[in-house]
Structures are given as C-alpha cells and as structure tokens.
C-alpha cells in the first residue's frame, strides 16, 4: 500500500488524494517528531509560568480572559473538544473526513502547534486503521477554522463519540480504538485547541474538487466538440492563431482539445455546401472562451490550495524563536473565495453545455436532425425530458453559485464577529461538481446519438472512439423511446470515472 510521509513542510494535493480517496498509510518522519517535541517543550515551559498565555492557561474565544489553574487544564482541553463537537445534520462523506484529519495532522507536524508527538502518532494510527469519525454537515462557520467538524475528529482521538469502522459500521469510537490497539489520548495544555483550529475541512474539499474538475473540464471540451460536429459546425474557430491573439492559457487549452477531437471529421463545415451559415451560435463558437475562463479559475484556485497546503494554521502558534503568539491565520477567507469562484465557473460551464444540448434537440436549430432526436417524432419524445433534467440541474447550479463567503454571521459573543463561511462554500461546491458531471453526461448522451443520426457523414476518429466506448458501456444509441434514467445514469458514471476522456485520448493522445 502507498505510504505518505508527513514532515514539517506541508503536504501536496496528491498526498491528500492518496489518503482521502486511496486509503494510503500515513507515517511521521523523524524531522516532524523532533519538531513536535521541541514545540511541546516551549508550551510546557510557558504552562509552568504564572503569566496567562492564550490557549495554554486561559479559556477560549470570548472566555479568554479567565486564567485557568494547572489542576483544571486537562479538563479544559477535554471540555473544549466535547463542547465544540456540536455538529448537526447528515454525515459528511468519508473522503472529506479523512482529508480533514490528514490536513490537521499535517499542521500538527509543522511544529507550530505545541502538540506532543504521541498525539500526532495517534492521529496517524486512526487514519491507518480506517476509523472515520462521524462528522456532520452543519457546525462550521469557517472561523476559527472548521471548529465543529475538527472537534468531532478530536473526540474520536479521546475515545469518545461515534466513528465508522473500516467495515462501514458506525460504533462507539472507544470500541473501535480498542479493537485496533489504539490508546485514547489524554489531552494536555493547548492540545484540544490545536486539534480543532484550522481550515482543514474546506481545504480538503477544495483539493478534491480541483481533482474532479480537472477531468470534468476536459470532458466538457470533448462533449463540446461532439456537439459542434453533430451540428455541422465549423472548426475554423479553433485555429490556434485565433486564440494566440487573446492569450488566456485556459482558452488555448480548450480550443486545442476540441481541435484534437475533431481532427479528420467529415461533418465539420459540411453545412457550407448546402445551407451556408456565416458563423455558429455562441454556445458552440465560444465554447473555448467559456471553458478556458474556468480553466484559468482552476489555476488560481490551485495556487491558493498549494499555499494553504504549505501553511501551519493554528491559534496561538509556536514561533521558531520560542514565542507563542495569537493570530488570525485560521480565517478561511482565502480558501472560501476560490471555492465560491469555482462554483460560479462550474455553473457557467454547465449552462453553456445545456444550451448546446437544447440546440441539438430543436429541429429549427439543429440543421436537419429530427425533433428531440426522436425515432418517430410525435409517437416518440426522444430526449425531450432528458433536457428538462439537464435544465433543472443547471438551475440548481445557478443557485449554488451564490457565494457563501459574501455572508458573515457573528458568533462567540461578538469575539468572532466576522467569519468566512468557507465550509459552506465547500459543501455547495461538492454538490455543484456532482451536478456538472450529470449535465456533461446529458450532453454526451445527446451528442453521440445525434452523430449517429447523421447518416452518410463520417465522424472524426476520436468521436467514433467515444461513440464506440459509450455503446460498449451499455448506453444505447438511436431508436424508439425506452426507459431513459438507466442510460443517463450510465452516462453519468462514464463521465465521472474518466472513461470519456480516456476514450477520446485513445485517438488524440493526452488532452490538456
């Protein structure tokens, strides 16, 4: 099994994906253990002094003015975890919780939190045992970090609350730890606070969304090319010299992908022989510009994610010179903004895909295709309601594009009076990514059917490869009306697991 070694300098997106989705093992390197021990010595020294230090010998948030005596500090750390584990609503996905736990471990290993090495080792042990704390949908305002979700994870380290075992069964966390030989941690000064004060949930969801969207943006280039071809459009608008004079890198990449898919097509530009069109509709002609803008948004979001993956987010932090200082680095604004920005780009990509699908189904705009791509229009409805479903998804995506980060709701007796709502931005982006996948699947379903209805014209070799792969996947082609939901679900899976891109690349080579 793949192993991810955590040091003091942060982790990569591929590390997060390996642990969250691939079940990779986690190990601490010697450098991290030494940094943990050194930072802990600093915290212990401060704890022995009479002067109050936030998070070490004081209460938290609006209660930070109370100095806590030594005999109450272990109780204080337990209590902050118990009281902050106040999430409600449905459980979040296992991969999100694993990303959340791994990213908190990453920060702990930076040597900036003051957590003992044994606590970090227990975090790794829980991940490696496949134990997943029960974390709920609601409870994080994205400041101070993802408090409630992280608290539910910390509760499991203490042997309390509920968690899911490697067999998928939810049981008391203490039982699961015992079965795997893991001793629950007894928290000391600052450790409870350090386990729950970070942007780890929203960051983990950002990393996974970026990975999914990399595939989906290439998938959308493929389906846009198939639709252009099925509509007998012109591929001249994809010429690299046209995109060079507006040098957005994402636009050039999308145009290059579409051109690669359409190479050798016997359909593109065919309309010029009998029904001249000066130019294609925006949803076809401007596909690279819209998808390209989204690609550039992904690039910006990836830069933010990389910076956050290298960060040590906690409050207070142990600095290299031995100071323990309060700060505001836990505020989720940098991550929240790009999560919302991505939701806008996703909604627009879905919107233009839906417009292309509608054009394929409209006999007045499809340049010779049967109404709704039906076998016997009037007796058969064809893909009429598949487009309704796609339109409903796009409408939902537009609502999900409303930014969460533009909102703020005060908490903690006005001590935390401006929050990021980054967790909420991440949760709605996950829904948006799922819905975009479905929208692209409907366009794929319509475009492959339309291409097969163009009798006497030869699709591009890459298009033919996609059609063949779709049919091998059990997704039926043109014919009389049938139960559509299973076909659409199969098309969704075909896009979601990357088979669409793989099919095109058997001809084109690697797409961008």
SS3 187: coil
What is the maximum span of the chain, computed from C-alpha positions, in angstroms? Answer: 90
Q: With contact defined as beta carbons under 8 Å apart, do 230 and 369 qualify?
A: yes
Specify whether the CB–CB gap between 258 and 460 falls below 8 A: no
Q: DSSP label at 66?
A: S
Asked if residue 466 has pLDDT above 90, the reply is yes
Q: Are residues 353 and 220 in contact, defined by beta-carbon separation less than 8 angstroms?
A: yes
Q: Give the residue-averaged pLDDT of 11-18.
A: 98
Phi, psi of 342 (to 5 degrees): -65, -40
Indicate the DSSP class of residue 67.
B
Whether residue 217 has pLDDT greater than 70: yes
Q: Tokens 């730890």 identify what position? A: 177
pTM of the model: 0.95
**pLDDT average, residue stretch 391-395:** 98
Per DSSP, the residues of 452-507 read HTSTT----HHHHHHHHHHHHTT---SSS---HHHHHHHHHHHHHTTHHHHHHHHH
The pLDDT of residue 273: 52
Supply the pLDDT for residue 302: 98
Residue 143's pLDDT is what?
A: 85
Confidence at residue 47, expressed as pLDDT on a 0 to 100 scale: 86
Contacts of 323 (CB under 8 A, 6+ apart): none
Least confident of 311-315, 349-353, 423-427, 483-487: 311-315
Q: List the one residue out of 98, 202, 207, 217 whose CA is nearest residue 153.
A: 98
d(CA 435, CA 495): 12
* pLDDT greater than 70 at residue 188: yes
Token pair for 402: 């409303």
Q: Based on the residue annotation, tell me whether 217 is a catalytic residue of this protein.
A: no
Which pLDDT score is estimated for 72?
Answer: 86
Q: How much of the chain is in helix, strand and coil states, percent to nearest 5?
A: 55, 5, 35
**Residue 70: which pLDDT band, with cuts at 50, 70 and 90?**
confident
* Active-site residue identified among 54, 282, 388, 445: 54
Using CA of residue 221, residue 225, residue 226, residue 227, what is the dihedral sign?
positive
Burial 389-404 (b: 16+ CB within 10 A, else e): bbbebbeebbebbebb
User: Residue 172: beta bridge partners?
Assistant: 162
Distance CA 313, CA 31 (A): 19
Pick from 380, 392, 383: which is nearest to 361 by CA?
383
Indicate whether 49 pLDDT > 90: no
What is residue 272's predicted lDDT score, i.e. its pLDDT? 54
List alpha helices for 267-383, DSSP H.
282-285, 287-309, 333-361
The per-residue pLDDT for range 255-275, each reduced to its tens digit, is 999 999 999 999 997 665 556
Residue 267 contacts residue 457 (beta carbons within 8 Å): yes
SS3 23: coil
The pLDDT of residue 213: 98
For the segment 123-137, the average pLDDT, to the nearest whole number, is: 98
Which pLDDT value is given to residue 269? 79
Per-residue pLDDT at 476 exceeds 90: yes
The pLDDT score that the predictor gives to residue 39 is 95
Q: What is the mean predicted confidence (pLDDT) over 25-34? A: 98
Q: What is the pLDDT of residues 95-118, one digit of tens each?
A: 999 999 999 999 999 999 999 999
Name the band, by pLDDT with cuts 50, 70 and 90, for residue 276: low
Task: Please report the pLDDT score of residue 53 as a whole number.
Answer: 79
């Amino acid at each position: 099994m793949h192993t991810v070694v955590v040091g003091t300098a942060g982790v990569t997106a591929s590390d997060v994906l390996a642990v969250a989705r691939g079940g990779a093992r986690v190990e601490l390197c010697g450098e991290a253990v030494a940094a943990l021990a050194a930072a802990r010595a600093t915290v212990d020294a401060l704890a022995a002094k009479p002067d109050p230090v936030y998070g070490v010998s004081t209460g938290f948030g609006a209660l930070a003015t109370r100095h806590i005596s030594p005999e109450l500090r272990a109780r204080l750390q337990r209590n902050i975890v118990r009281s902050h584990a106040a999430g409600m609503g449905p459980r979040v996905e296992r991969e999100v919780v694993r990303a959340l736990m791994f990213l908190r471990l990453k920060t702990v290993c930076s040597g900036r939190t003051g957590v003992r090495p044994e606590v970090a080792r227990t975090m790794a042990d829980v991940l490696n045992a496949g134990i997943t704390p029960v974390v709920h949908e609601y409870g994080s305002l994205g400041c101070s970090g993802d408090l409630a979700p992280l608290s539910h994870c910390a509760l499991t380290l203490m042997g309390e609350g509920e968690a899911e075992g490697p067999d998928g069964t939810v049981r008391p966390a203490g039982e699961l730890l015992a079965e795997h030989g893991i001793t629950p941690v007894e928290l000391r000064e600052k450790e409870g606070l350090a386990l729950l004060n970070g942007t780890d949930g929203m960051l983990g969801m950002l990393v996974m969304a970026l990975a999914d969207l990399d595939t989906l943006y290439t998938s959308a280039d493929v389906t846009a090319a198939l639709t252009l071809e099925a509509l007998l459009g012109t591929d001249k608008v994809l010429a690299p010299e046209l995109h060079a004079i507006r040098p957005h890198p994402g636009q050039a990449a999308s145009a290059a992908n579409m051109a690669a898919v359409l190479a050798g097509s016997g359909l593109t530009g065919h309309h010029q022989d009998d029904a001249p069109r000066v130019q294609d509709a925006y949803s076809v002609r401007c596909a690279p510009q819209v998808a390209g803008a989204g690609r550039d948004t992904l690039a910006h979001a990836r830069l933010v994610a990389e910076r956050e993956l290298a960060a040590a987010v906690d409050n207070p932090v142990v600095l290299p010179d031995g100071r323990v200082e309060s700060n505001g680095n836990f505020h989720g604004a940098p991550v929240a903004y790009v999560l919302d920005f991505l939701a806008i780009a996703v909604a627009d990509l879905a919107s233009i895909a839906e417009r292309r699908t509608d054009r394929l189904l409209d006999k007045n705009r499809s340049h010779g295709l049967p109404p709704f791509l039906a076998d016997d229009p009037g007796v058969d409805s064809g893909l009429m309601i598949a487009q309704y479903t796609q339109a409903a998804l796009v409408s939902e995506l537009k609502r999900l594009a409303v930014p969460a980060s533009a909102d703020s709701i005060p908490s903690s007796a006005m001590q935390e009076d401006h929050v990021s709502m980054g967790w909420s931005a991440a949760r709605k982006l996950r829904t948006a990514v799922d819905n975009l996948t479905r929208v692209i699947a409907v366009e794929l379903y319509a475009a492959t059917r339309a291409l097969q209805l163009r009798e006497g014209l030869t699709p591009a070799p890459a298009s033919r490869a996609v059609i063949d792969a779709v049919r091998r996947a059990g997704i039926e082609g043109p014919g009389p009306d049938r139960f559509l939901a299973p076909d659409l679900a199969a098309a969704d899976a075909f896009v979601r697991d990357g088979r669409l891109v793989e099919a095109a690349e058997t001809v084109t080579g690697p797409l961008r």
